[in-house]
Amino acid sequence: MGTGKALFSVSVADVGTQAKHVESNLGRIFALATKWQTIFLLDEADVFLQSRGNKVLSTD
The domain spans of the chain are: 7-46
Residue 33 Ramachandran class (φ > 0 left, ψ -120 to 50 alpha, else beta): alpha
C-alpha span between 21 and 55 (Å, rounded): 16
Give the confidence band of 41 by pLDDT, cuts at 50, 70, 90: very high
Q: Using CA atoms, how far apart are residues 20 and 50, in angstroms rounded to an integer? A: 17
The fraction of the chain above a pLDDT of 90, given in percent, is 42
**In sequence order, what are the residues at sequence separation of 6 or more whose Cβ sits closer than 8 angstroms to the Cβ of residue 17?**
56, 57, 58
Question: What is the pLDDT, as a whole number, of residue 51?
Answer: 60
